[in-house]
């Protein structure tokens, strides 16, 4: 079933055309990763799908089933509430809570009257009906499901009593994502869902989305995440939309091949057009009747020719390099027993390690574990009042100057315009003979995407991506042998991230960084340190919200609830596993048919892909069959208790 269909669709705001000539379809069950540079029109497209925008031209069909089946997470949208985290997430289950109370009341009456009397028989029947309604409505699993979602998004038991109004914007966004996942819409549209998630939460979300059986559209610059949860890639570029039948990593190869093929065809056609025009010109010079007829014939041929568009390609990507004036020594950083503890909490303690020249060290750990604090300590960026919380010592190597990138973009958040901010940062304190000329600064800004009047934009008007690119450019002019970078890929689109990766890969100095971008980290890191490993052993967890019903006769109810919950989970897992196995068997049949199709016999690339697909499916099917055996045995044991 087609859910969304665009035909020659256009979207413009004022005189700015954002999307033009868009032709695409989204089918039920598709899992699409939407990519493109910042400002390309990704969010605009999904807001057309949600009905928030009406296209300026062309057609966009939205199936009648969509409005009531769609869940949409806006980028950086937060959950606003005066309730606690736990109470807010319990609101959708008010009906089940009421059933629990009714069950408890009925149990109490049954104990009073006994099950032998007439009243007892009536109460027993009522209780059985209540149990059935409760079980069918998800009563056995809803609390554990809520806690599982909250824990997966970084909200442990001790945080469930916090008021939502007291949380940060990033925490509120995670809560909005959690509530959306609990509703299980048939169509899920997520705009940058991994923003504000640490690696553990990203992996948890990937697992949730892999198990999700509906239609998924995800806007993201997180390449590892896209590879994990999507099977199609939609590129928004130069106002157009281009669908690829592959996840991100494979898309990169396909896109490169497409552009190269179109370029060759375009060049070949242009040569042919030039040859024909030269022939026409030559025939006209002879000016004889047969020459004129020949020229007119070629002109008609040109008129009928379907011209191949010149491959537009993306806008020129940013360009940056990190060069060094003074290389510095081999010993870059020496950390000895470093700790940071403020009243009531210790982030890390007894951290000791060394960093040597040329290393690319990444500090990892969950949100709130102290990654940014650690970087601020070694970069001497703590406020005076914070320094009292530091213990231990650290030493930066001799002649090892460093540049520090702050994730809050504080270096580019003041007053003034782009050019003045760069000029003051680069030339401030330099003698006149060493000033970097304005024309060179303008060229550098152009290389980072600030062209024309953009160089005079006020800092307050810049997007997060523009601020990030400007701050990185400022660092590149410092030419120091040590870079300390805190989440440098935040706000950057995929193209800008790849440019930064390339520049850092060529950097001859030392890198110490924090990044939740696994793709970025895996390409650059020579070493990682998990800062959470240096946290003190956790104290006894705070008491969780009291959710027990605490009724007389409730012990048997809880025992039955736990048993049914265990059985229900096993049955659900068995069903999912069997369904996945059946789906793989169907896919394998299609793959085997394609392998024996004569049309594919000479397409070695396709045959290779088909063989790889079949091998992967065979391996997964074997694992699924083993899992079915294990779950079946566990289910039999649970039911016999």
Length reported for the chain: 641
Question: Which whole number is the average pLDDT over 298-326?
Answer: 81
Lowest-confidence pick of 151-165, 276-290, 608-622: 608-622
Percent of the chain with pLDDT over 90: 40
Structure tokens at 1: 């079933």
Return the C-alpha torsion angle 241, 246, 250, 251, nearest 10: 0
DSSP class of residue 64 equals: T
Q: Given its phi and psi angles, is residue 23 left (phi above 0), alpha (psi -120 to 50 degrees) or beta? A: beta
615 or 280, higher pLDDT: 280
- pLDDT band at residue 43 using 50, 70 and 90 as cut-offs: very high
Kindly provide the b/e burial profile for residues 465-477, where b requires at least 16 CB atoms within 10 angstroms of the residue's own CB: bbbbbbbbbbbbb
Q: What is the pLDDT at residue 315?
A: 55
Banded model confidence at residue 343, pLDDT cuts 50, 70, 90: confident
Match 């939205």 to its residue by tokens.
Answer: 62
312 vs 39, residue with greater confidence: 39
pLDDT value of residue 344: 77
Most confident of 92-96, 163-167, 377-381: 377-381
CB-based contacts of 428, cutoff 8 Å, min separation 6: none
Instruction: Write out the two tokens for 635.
Output: 């289910």
The pLDDT-based confidence of 601 (bands split at 50, 70, 90) is low
| DSSP tag of 7 | E
Task: Find the range with the poorest average confidence among 226-240, 329-343, 472-486, 548-562.
Answer: 548-562
Domain spanning 1-82+163-258: which superfamily? P-loop containing nucleotide triphosphate hydrolases (3.40.50.300)
DSSP conformation letters of 301-321: HHHH--PPPPP--SPPPP---
Place of tokens 């010149």: 310
| Helices 494-506 and 464-476: angle between axes, nearest 10 degrees | 10
**C-alpha span between 95 and 262 (Å, rounded):** 59
598 has pLDDT over 80 = no
Average pLDDT over all residues of the chain: 85
116-137 confidence digits (pLDDT tens): 667 777 888 888 888 888 888 8
The pLDDT, as a whole number, for residue 599 is: 76
pLDDT of residue 121: 75
Is beta strand 240-244 parallel, antiparallel or unpaired with respect to 390-396? unpaired
Confidence of residue 442 (pLDDT cuts 50, 70, 90): very high
Q: With contact defined as beta carbons under 8 Å apart, do 295 and 287 qualify? A: no
- The arithmetic mean of pLDDT across residues 196-217, rounded, is 89
pLDDT score of 367: 81
Residue 544 has pLDDT above 50, yes or no: no
Question: Domain 331-534 classified CATH 3.40.50.300?
Answer: yes
**Under a CB-based contact definition with an 8 Å cutoff, are residues 50 and 188 in contact?**
no
3-state SS of 562-611 is: HHHHHHHHHHHHHHHHHHHHHHHHHHHHHHHHHHCCHHHCCCHHHHHHHH
Which stretches does DSSP call E strand in 343-480? Answer: 345-356, 360-364, 390-396, 402-405
Query: Tell me, what's the pLDDT at 542?
Result: 41
The pLDDT of 316-330, averaged and rounded, is: 85
In 3-state terms, what secondary structure has residue 251? helix
Range with the largest mean pLDDT of 255-264, 514-523, 570-579? 514-523
pLDDT of 548 over the 60 cut: no
Q: What is the mean pLDDT of residues 440-446?
A: 92
Q: Taking 80 as the threshold, does the pLDDT of residue 640 lie above it?
A: no
pLDDT at 595 > cutoff 80: no
Distance CA 548, CA 11 (A): 53
pLDDT, average across residues 64-81: 83
What is the band of 559 on the pLDDT scale with cuts at 50, 70, 90? low
User: Alpha-carbon distance 475 to 469, whole Å?
Assistant: 10
DSSP H/E element including 623? helix 604-640
Same fold, 1-82+163-258 and 331-534: yes
* pLDDT value of residue 307: 86
Per-domain residue ranges for the chain?
Answer: 1-82+163-258, 84-151, 259-304, 331-534, 554-640
Q: Per residue, what are the HEC states of 341-356? A: EECCEEEEEEEEEEEE
DSSP 466-509: HHHHHHHHHHHTT--SEEEEESTTTT--HHHHHHHHHHHHH--S
Name the strand (E) or helix (H) holding 187: strand 187-191
Q: Decide: 577 and 624 in contact? Cβ < 8 Å.
A: yes
Place of tokens 């940058």: 192
Per-residue pLDDT band for 115 (boundaries 50, 70, 90) equals low
């Amino acid at each position: 079933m087609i859910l969304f269909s665009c035909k020659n669709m256009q979207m413009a705001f004022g005189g700015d055309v954002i999307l033009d000539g868009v032709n695409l379809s989204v089918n039920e069950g598709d899992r699409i990763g939407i990519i493109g540079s910042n400002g390309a029109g990704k969010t605009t497209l999904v807001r057309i799908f949600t009905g928030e925008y009406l296209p300026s031209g062309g057609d966009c069909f939205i199936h009648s089933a969509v409005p009531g089946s769609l869940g949409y997470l806006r980028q950086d949208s937060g959950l606003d509430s005066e309730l606690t985290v736990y109470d807010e997430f319990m609101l959708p289950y008010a009906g089940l809570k009421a059933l629990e109370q009714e069950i408890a009341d009925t149990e109490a009456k049954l104990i009073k009257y006994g099950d032998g009397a007439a009243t007892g028989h009536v109460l027993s029947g009522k209780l059985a009906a209540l149990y059935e309604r409760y079980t069918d409505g998800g009563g056995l699993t809803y609390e554990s499901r809520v806690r599982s979602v909250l824990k997966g998004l970084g909200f442990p038991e001790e945080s469930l009593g916090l008021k939502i109004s007291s949380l940060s914007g990033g925490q509120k966004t995670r809560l909005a994502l959690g509530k959306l996942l609990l509703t299980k819409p048939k169509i899920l549209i997520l705009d940058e869902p991994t923003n504000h998630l640490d690696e553990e939460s990203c992996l948890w979300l990937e697992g949730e989305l892999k198990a999700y059986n509906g239609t998924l559209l995800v806007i993201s610059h997180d390449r590892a995440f896209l590879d994990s949860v999507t099977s199609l890639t939609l590129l928004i570029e130069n106002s157009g939309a281009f669908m690829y039948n592959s996840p991100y990593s494979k898309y990169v190869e396909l896109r490169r091949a497409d552009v190269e093929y179109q370029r060759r065809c375009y060049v070949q056609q242009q040569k042919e057009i030039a040859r024909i025009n030269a022939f026409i010109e030559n025939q006209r010079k002879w000016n004889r009747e047969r020459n004129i007829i020949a020229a007119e014939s070629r002109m008609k041929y040109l008129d009928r020719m379907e011209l191949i568009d010149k491959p537009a390609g993306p806008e020129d990507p940013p360009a940056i390099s990190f060069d060094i004036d003074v290389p510095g020594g081999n010993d870059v950083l020496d950390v000895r027993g470093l700790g940071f503890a403020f009243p009531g909490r210790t982030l890390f303690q007894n951290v000791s390690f060394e960093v040597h020249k040329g290393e690319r060290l990444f500090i990892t750990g969950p949100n709130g574990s102290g990654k940014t604090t650690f970087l601020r300590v070694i970069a001497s960026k703590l406020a005076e009042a914070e320094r009292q919380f530091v213990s231990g010592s650290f030493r930066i190597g001799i002649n090892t100057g460093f540049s520090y990138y702050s994730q809050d973009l504080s270096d580019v958040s003041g007053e003034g315009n782009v050019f003045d901010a760069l000029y003051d940062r680069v030339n401030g304190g330099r003698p006149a003979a060493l000033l970097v000329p304005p024309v060179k600064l303008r060229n550098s800004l152009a290389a980072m995407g600030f062209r024309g009047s953009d160089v005079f934009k006020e800092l307050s008007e810049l997007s997060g991506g523009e601020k990030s690119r400007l701050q990185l450019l400022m660092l590149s002019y410092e030419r120091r042998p040590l870079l300390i970078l805190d989440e440098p890929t935040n706000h950057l689109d995929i193209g800008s991230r790849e440019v930064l990766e390339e520049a850092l890969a060529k950097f001859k100095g030392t890198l110490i960084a924090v990044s939740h971008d696994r793709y970025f980290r895996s390409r650059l890191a020579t070493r990682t340190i998990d800062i959470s490993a240096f946290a003190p052993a956790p104290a006894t967890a705070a008491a969780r919200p009291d959710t027990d019903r605490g009724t007389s006769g409730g012990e048997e109810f809880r025992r039955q609830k736990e048993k049914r919950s265990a059985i229900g989970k096993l049955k659900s897992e068995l069903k999912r596993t069997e369904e996945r196995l059946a789906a793989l068997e169907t896919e394998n049949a299609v793959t085997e048919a394609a392998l024996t199709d004569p049309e594919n016999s000479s397409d070695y690339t396709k045959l290779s892909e088909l063989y790889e697909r079949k091998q992967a499916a065979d391996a997964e099917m074997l694992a699924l069959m083993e899992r079915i055996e294990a779950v079946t045995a566990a289910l039999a044991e649970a039911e016999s208790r």
